[in-house]
Structure 1
Amino acid sequence: MSSVPLARSRGTLFAAALGFVVVLLDVSVVNVALDALRQGFGTDITGLQWVLNAYTLVFAALLLSAGGLGDRMGARRVFMLGFALFTLASAGCGLAPSLTALIFARIAQGMGAAMLVPNSLSMLRQAFPDPAQRSRAVGWWGAAGGIALAAGPVLGGMLVSHAGWRSIFLINLPIGLLGLYLCSRHAEPDRRNRVGSQRGLDLPGQAAGCVTLAALTYALSAAGGLGWAHPRVHGSLLLSLASAAAFIAIESRSAAPMLPLTLFRLPSFALASVCGAIINFAYYGLIFVFSLFFQLEQHLSPQQTGLAFLPMTVVLMAVNILVGRLSGRLRARALMLFGMSWAALGYALLWPVSLEGGYGWLIAPMLIASSGIATMVPTLTNLTMSAVLPAQAGIASGVLNTARQVGGMLGVAVCGFLVRDTEPVVFMQGMHRAIGTAVILLLAGFALCCIGMPSHDRAVDERRQPS
């Protein structure tokens, strides 16, 4: 096994981590700029949803194919192309003259993000040939992304308050340039991958998947303004169903599918994917709702809004690290049941939220909810990796991340629909419905874990089954 100089390995890790940082930072940082965007562009809740979901939609839809593109063209090359596209798109976001221009720039950001994430991991696999060192490197990579996701609202609040909303995108420019420099200087040149270069990109499956997600997102977002009875909403839902059926048919018949459906025959893998979608639905959906609540209903500044999320960010970072260390000692079933039930309890305790209530009593429920969510994230990753063969680890991780991003996108769309009217009394009714929806889904996930969660030994046996 060839060795890689330590300086090059560390430089590659830094570049890969920076790529993951900007991707997850732009998932969460926009939330604290919602009121500034609303006033700047004169838009409504639906417009704000698209600023968030245009990015997440493209990111989720292209994530699996971007990994295949890296197999064909080389992970380093695709990673650098993705970083360059993400950086240029961030400049486009920061300079956008209209809401439409901002949304299109966010779409370009999502394309760059999809190219960054899977190929950053591929670069780490090449830079750290020793399994133990690679495991530690991936741990640092994941920790950097987790910190970025958790710190996004706080950092965003400070930037918006002191430099305006455009700064939350322009901050990506120096990060992108640094990441490109480190990658070009330290990452190993791409080696020819004969297997990867011969593998198709499953363009029909990719197209069907994109249409499914885009049509569903449009229907959920447009229903707020047009109503569920509008022909465009009905047409979008029908298109989403038809393209989803086409996607399943294409993937089941493809010799090299983008999404191997046989993986879902493994109960642990299927359960992890469903639970990943549920926790992101609850987390992203309610972060969106509470961001609107703090800014539009309680009239907090962006910086105050970011600080309001500070208890959640601290707990998310701490519990992620703690559970990552304990996951080898505790059974996945126990961690999953605890995480689902604890998150459901935390969000349920937020149910009595009111316009007149003080912020102080929100802290404990937010801490409970975020610790439950944080318990689930590393547990789901470990469960996914233990359920599949080593050769399937890359695609399995990609599927889990895609499921989580789709769940987050649906969370913003559904919860945004529920709080589409910003009149205080009506908004609060919608907010309570959004909280209730998240709690019900988390309890459903808890029930699924109770019924379908295999023991550790059974998960290992599943992995040995042909797929």
Structure 2
Amino acid sequence: MDNSRGRLVALCTVQVVDVMGVTVVVSALPRMLGDLGGSAGGAGLLVPVYAVGFSSLLLLSARLGDRFGPRRVLIAGLVLFAIGSMVAAAAPVMALLITGRAIQGAAAAMTVPNALVLLTRAASTEAAHDRALGAWNACGGLAGAAGLLVGGLTTSAVSWRAIFWGNLVIAAVLIAVLLRLVERDRANQQRVALDLRSVVLQVIAVGAVVAAANTAARDWLVTAVLALAGALAVGWLVARERSTGSPLVPVKLWRRPFVAGLIGSFGVTATTSSFVVVGTLYLQEEKGFSPAAAGLMILPFSVSVVLGAGVAGRLMPRLGPRRMLVTGLLLIGVGAAAMGLWSTTTALLAGLAAAGLGNGVGAVAAYGLGTAVPVAQQASAAGLLNTAAQLGTATMVAITVAVAGRGGGLDYLSGWLTVVLTAAAVALPVLAVTAGRTRRFDSPSQVGTG
């Protein structure tokens, strides 16, 4: 294996480990609760504490990559991820397990955007850039769905602690490989100032929005208060970003292609994550599948993500990211519509395959649009794109379940319809924003300017 291929595999493995970290503990929750004597409320924190840390710190981590170099921050993030994994693996009580998960989430925020920057910088041509994005997004889509299966099998075969000990080993191997294969950060790395008030406001805004979405089905008053807090924090953050000399997101980044990529990144994960969750519930509650069998039934989605990402990586230079992104959203909408019209297992499998293709195609296109920026802006672009993706999952899954569960049981038709409407609602602004010509930075000389 040559250095370029080994580097690609290692950087994509970072994506796999971090994205899988969101879902890998779900199947192990009952066993964790029993072993540590924790409450159901404590167990319920294990998934969101990782997701909130992951999504809220991505922008800060991207700016740290700008300041200290993406390689340094990536390696530091992997070290922190190993520490969090060790804390979780050895945790004698639920509080320490939750602490370990929080550390892992913060570490994932440090690694993902900086790994993506290193991945795109290593591409010497537009075609190589698109193929690398295809591999990156295929790994991300596969990891999210596979986490449920891997966590369940590991817990059943060995122990839930093996999940975290395994993460510790993988992190150590990745550090060794990346130190060898990824070139050192440039000596003249730009010195980027950080505005701590912007950082705090951004963390509060993301945390409040995610919390509001996740309480929507239980307490409308709490949801309203959290939503208001999130809106105020967003407003204050925008005002602060416009006045500070060191914004979290550079002003020059807000161009049409990037905005379209940002909207698309949110929409692709929002729709497919909601689809998979509703589909999993449908298989278990309506069709009587066991959790493990339902996880296996989701495999068509995972396989299709890989296929769609591979196809997109090769077709995007000819068709363009705008068309590919809209096509991806259309496929997701068609998959959800098929399930809403024909509520059968066959229709669900076909819908999962279509949604998986849409995820692979749409995610590659969204990241293609969003990362077509000069080198100096790539870390910030990667951080914001990943933040949008995590927010899509964290908010729309909760909202879709809340909409579908208004009557006590789960109205699956409402769930599928929510996915269709979300896909359409995202496709329209993408078309509007990209109505003009979008610029691609497809050579090292072009990427290095601006």
In which range does the TM-score fall when normalised by the shorter chain?
A: 0.7 to 0.9
1:252–1:298 distance in 2 versus 1, CA, 3 Å: same
Q: Which residue of 2 aligns with 1:87?
A: 82
Q: Which residue of 2 aligns with 1:366?
A: 352
**Does the aligned pair in 1 maintain the 2:84–2:101 contact within 8 Å?**
yes
> Does 1:211 find its partner at 2:186?
no
- Residue by residue over 1:201-233, the C-alpha shift from the partner in whole angstroms, topping out at 9 and shown as x without a partner, is 2221111010011122223323444x213xx44
> Does 1:192 find its partner at 2:181?
no
Aligned residues: 443
* Aligned mate of 1:177, from 172, 177, 189: 172
> Does 1:202 find its partner at 2:226?
no
> Does 1:330 find its partner at 2:319?
yes
| Partner Cα distance (2:94, 2:399) in 1 | 21
Q: Which residue of 1 aligns with 2:48?
A: 53
| Partner Cα distance (2:137, 2:269) in 1 | 17
Letter in 2 for 1:251: E
Q: Which residue of 1 aligns with 2:220?
A: 228
**Does the aligned pair in 2 maintain the 1:90–1:172 contact within 8 Å?**
yes
- Residue by residue over 1:272-303, the C-alpha shift from the partner in whole angstroms, topping out at 9 and shown as x without a partner, is 21222122112223333444444566564443
Query: How far apart are residue 326 of structure 1 and its match?
Result: 0.4
> Does 1:310 find its partner at 2:299?
yes
Which stretch has the larger CA shift, 185-194 or 252-261?
Answer: 185-194
**Does the aligned pair in 2 maintain the 1:31–1:288 contact within 8 Å?**
no
Letter in 2 for 1:346: G
Query: How far apart are residue 310 of structure 1 and its match?
Result: 0.8
Q: Which residue of 2 aligns with 1:288?
A: 277
**Does the aligned pair in 1 maintain the 2:199–2:248 contact within 8 Å?**
yes
- Residue by residue over 1:16-59, the C-alpha shift from the partner in whole angstroms, topping out at 9 and shown as x without a partner, is 33322211222343454466668777866x87764333222221
Q: Which residue of 1 aligns with 2:13?
A: 18
Which stretch has the larger CA shift, 316-325 or 131-140?
Answer: 131-140
Q: Which residue of 2 aligns with 1:3?
A: none
* Aligned mate of 1:453, from 417, 434, 445: 434
| Partner Cα distance (2:426, 2:133) in 1 | 28
| Partner Cα distance (1:206, 1:167) in 2 | 34
| Partner Cα distance (1:407, 1:420) in 2 | 19
Q: Which residue of 2 aligns with 1:383?
A: 369
| Partner Cα distance (2:42, 2:284) in 1 | 16
| Partner Cα distance (1:163, 1:299) in 2 | 26
| Partner Cα distance (1:294, 1:156) in 2 | 19
1:306–1:36 distance in 2 versus 1, CA, 3 Å: farther
Letter in 2 for 1:459: T
Letter in 1 for 2:367: T
Letter in 2 for 1:238: L
Q: Secondary structure at the match of 1:428?
A: coil
RMSD: 3.6
- Residue by residue over 1:136-157, the C-alpha shift from the partner in whole angstroms, topping out at 9 and shown as x without a partner, is 6666555544543454344334
Gaps of 5+ in 2: none
Query: How far apart are residue 190 of structure 1 and its match?
Result: 4.3
Which stretch has the larger CA shift, 202-211 or 215-224?
Answer: 215-224
**Does the aligned pair in 1 maintain the 2:20–2:144 contact within 8 Å?**
yes
Letter in 2 for 1:61: S
Query: How far apart are residue 101 of structure 1 and its match?
Result: 4.1
Which stretch has the larger CA shift, 215-224 or 75-84?
Answer: 215-224
Q: Secondary structure at the match of 1:460?
A: coil
**Does the aligned pair in 2 maintain the 1:11–1:183 contact within 8 Å?**
no
Which stretch has the larger CA shift, 117-126 or 49-58?
Answer: 117-126
| Partner Cα distance (1:42, 1:132) in 2 | 51
Which stretch has the larger CA shift, 111-120 or 321-330?
Answer: 111-120
- Residue by residue over 1:308-331, the C-alpha shift from the partner in whole angstroms, topping out at 9 and shown as x without a partner, is 111111111111101110001113
| Partner Cα distance (1:256, 1:326) in 2 | 38
Which stretch has the larger CA shift, 21-30 or 128-137?
Answer: 128-137
* Aligned mate of 2:417, from 427, 436, 455: 436
Q: Which residue of 2 aligns with 1:253?
A: 243
> Does 1:415 find its partner at 2:410?
no
> Does 1:76 find its partner at 2:71?
yes
Letter in 2 for 1:381: Y
- % same residue: 29
Letter in 2 for 1:228: W
| Partner Cα distance (2:31, 2:404) in 1 | 18
| Partner Cα distance (1:259, 1:217) in 2 | 21
Which stretch has the larger CA shift, 285-294 or 33-42?
Answer: 33-42
| Partner Cα distance (1:172, 1:452) in 2 | 40
1:257–1:300 distance in 2 versus 1, CA, 3 Å: same
Letter in 1 for 2:16: V
1:43–1:450 distance in 2 versus 1, CA, 3 Å: farther
| Partner Cα distance (1:375, 1:109) in 2 | 29
1:361–1:413 distance in 2 versus 1, CA, 3 Å: closer
| Partner Cα distance (1:76, 1:432) in 2 | 46
For normalisation by structure 2, the TM-score amounts to 0.84
**Does the aligned pair in 1 maintain the 2:114–2:379 contact within 8 Å?**
no
1:340–1:188 distance in 2 versus 1, CA, 3 Å: closer
Letter in 2 for 1:411: M
Letter in 1 for 2:390: Q
| Partner Cα distance (1:153, 1:102) in 2 | 18
- Residue by residue over 1:150-199, the C-alpha shift from the partner in whole angstroms, topping out at 9 and shown as x without a partner, is 5434433432443344444333122112112223444444443352xx31
1:350–1:261 distance in 2 versus 1, CA, 3 Å: farther
Q: Secondary structure at the match of 2:438?
A: helix
| Partner Cα distance (2:197, 2:395) in 1 | 23
| Partner Cα distance (2:330, 2:184) in 1 | 46
**Does the aligned pair in 2 maintain the 1:34–1:292 contact within 8 Å?**
no
1:461–1:24 distance in 2 versus 1, CA, 3 Å: closer
Q: Which residue of 1 aligns with 2:262?
A: 273
Query: How far apart are residue 13 of structure 1 and its match?
Result: 4.4
For normalisation by structure 1, the TM-score amounts to 0.81
| Partner Cα distance (2:217, 2:57) in 1 | 27
Gaps of 5+ in 1: 1-5
